[in-house]
Amino acid sequence: MGVIVSAGLPTGMEGMMYPIPFSEPDAVLRVARHAEALGFHSVWGNDHMTTQHYVRAEFATPPRFWEPLVTYAFVAAHTTTLRLGTGVLVLPLRRDIVVLAKQLATLDHFSGGRLELGVGIGAYREEFEALWPDSGAHRADMMEEGVEALQRLFSDRVASFSGKYYRFRDVELFPKPLQARLPIYFGGNSANHLPRVASGADGWIPAGMEPARLAGMVRQLGELAVAAGRDPATIAVAPQYAVHIGRDHEAALAHFRRSQMHRHLMSLGKSTLREQRGLSMEDINIVGSFDAALEKAMRIREAGATHFLGLYFAADDVNELLDQMQMFAESVMPSLVA
């Protein structure tokens, strides 16, 4: 069974996955248009509001973190078929849920119904505490409540909501999103996210998960979906991976290990990737020769992935990123989507 393949868009990746400078506005647009020309299903940009401590320590110049929804409004005007996903929108950073719902519905209309929404709690709690100091909020509960509030605003003619974190009364949000159902994915590697996904999400976004563990969690998600009265086949399994490929296997591995992407992934060892300790970043991700990359990607597909979501191509500059996208599209993607 073929899968969907999409590419990461460097909205908030300077100083983290890529060096500084990297994400000039015209470079972001080049990546999106290149993805569309190569046949990628969509692009997925990440979401950061303030610089992480480890990035400040490494770089003298602050990174440019572009707000993804505003960025997508620009990208939508310069593309025609490419879908636009947030991978992920950090929902706890956005306190006014009604304004967010209005932004999402507007973007869905102006893009011609091309929006997909991935949400998460964010890999770095320090960002949340910088915006909302001393709040004491439980971010996972806040995310779950926020999604429920968004779904109510998108479905009810006149919506009211009274939760612990979000409240509104008698809101007639119109127009609703152009799509009859705006796809919503939950991001996160913890098994605690699976019941949330099974109960009402359209997809699940784990990050850098090796195939055996992914297969086990896919089985668990399927069981939870059936218990919730849902068909597991209606829930996308959409893992994210870093990618660096080349004709020479050892050279590709060496380049990846020297990359800013590798340093960033190592920084996630205490958060998103903490349960993957003991595995090398090149073993977890899609790195190596064309044949090795295809073999790894096929094992991920066999583990239950239905969407290789927002693949992050390790690169030292934008031209190398574009080259990596093209090599993957030509040497790996045809077999994955077949």
Domain spans, the chain: 4-337
List of the chain residues with pLDDT < 70: 270-278
Cα–Cα distance, 283 to 11 (Å, whole number): 26
Which residues on adjacent β-strands are paired with residue 204? Answer: 186, 237
Helix, strand, coil percent content, the chain, rounded in steps of 5: 50, 20, 35
> Nearest 10 degrees: CA dihedral of 122, 259, 292, 216?
-20
Given this model, what pLDDT does residue 293 score? 98
Given this model, what pLDDT does residue 237 score? 98
Cα–Cα distance, 144 to 195 (Å, whole number): 11
Cα–Cα distance, 83 to 108 (Å, whole number): 10
Task: Give phi and psi for 150, each to the nearest 5.
Answer: -60, -45
Q: What pLDDT, in 10s, does the model give residues 210-269?
A: 999 999 999 999 999 999 999 999 999 999 999 999 999 999 999 999 999 998 888 777
Given this model, what pLDDT does residue 88 score? 97
Given this model, what pLDDT does residue 276 score? 60
Cα–Cα distance, 280 to 257 (Å, whole number): 10
Cα–Cα distance, 156 to 172 (Å, whole number): 8
Element housing 290 (H / E)? helix 290-302
Given this model, what pLDDT does residue 275 score? 63
User: CATH for 4-337?
Assistant: 3.20.20.30
63-76 as b/e: b if 16+ CB within 10 A? bbbbebbebbbebb
In 159-218, the DSSP E strands lie at 159-162, 167-171, 184-187, 203-205
Given this model, what pLDDT does residue 279 score? 77
Given this model, what pLDDT does residue 3 score? 97
**pTM of the shown model:** 0.95
Cα–Cα distances (Å) from 174 to 118, 146, 148, 182, 313, in that order, read: 22, 18, 18, 14, 38
